[in-house]
Amino acid sequence: MGWEDELFALFDDLEGQAGALYAAERDLEVADRSRAEYQQVTLAGRLMASVGRTVTLGVLGVGTVTGTLERVADGWLLAASGDHDWVVALPAVTTASDVSERSVPEIAWSPLTRLSLASALRRIAEAGEPCLLHLRDGSRHEGLLRRVGADFCELVAGEGRRTVLVSFAALAAAQSQSASRAG
């Protein structure tokens, strides 16, 4: 091998090392950017990408809810589970499994997703079907939703027809007592 061949081999080797260093640096930069971008992903965004899938949720005051995720909206979600629908307040969701690896940013959501928890509860009240309200502390109230205010709902409960006001801040989920759809 002549000196020219050795020189070209040296240049090829140096070029290979420079390419490997660049690739390693680029991989670190891509990983760093990926981590930085992922911090923008919300639980609601991951759940939105999971609409139509069967998911398992851990819900404060309720425990485990498994059902088909039908809707995700501003502060709540709708899951169908057997004969029951669950309107779950997103702040009460502690865990979610079997969800999509993808995420849908809120800017890409339909305008219908801007409907609040109050809107979902009004639909239940309009249906006139009995429901079970689960509170984050584990207590429950069964009856008919009568009216829905800005930050609470009014439930007529029991045979004594007593009225119970339930703060949205305390509400974990509303469970339908029939197979009708809440959303």
The pLDDT value recorded for residue 173 is 97
Token duo for residue 31 = 């990983």
Give the distance, in angstroms, between the CA of residue 128 and the centroid of all CA atoms in the same chain. Answer: 27
The pLDDT value recorded for residue 31 is 56
Distance CA 172, CA 140 (A): 10
The pLDDT value recorded for residue 43 is 94
The pLDDT value recorded for residue 12 is 75
Q: Do residues 173 and 92 touch, judged by C-beta distance below 8 A?
A: yes
The pLDDT value recorded for residue 161 is 87
DSSP string, 78-143: EEEETTEEEEEEGGGEEEEES--S----GGGS-GGGG--HHHHHHHHHHHT-EEEEEETTS-EEEE
For the entire predicted model, the pTM comes to: 0.77
The pLDDT value recorded for residue 175 is 95
The pLDDT value recorded for residue 35 is 62
The pLDDT value recorded for residue 149 is 96
- Segment-wise mean pLDDT, segments of 10 residues, the chain, 183 residues: 70 74 69 69 94 97 96 95 93 97 88 90 93 96 95 89 95 80 47
Cβ burial of 165 (10 Å; 0-12, 13-18, 19+) is exposed
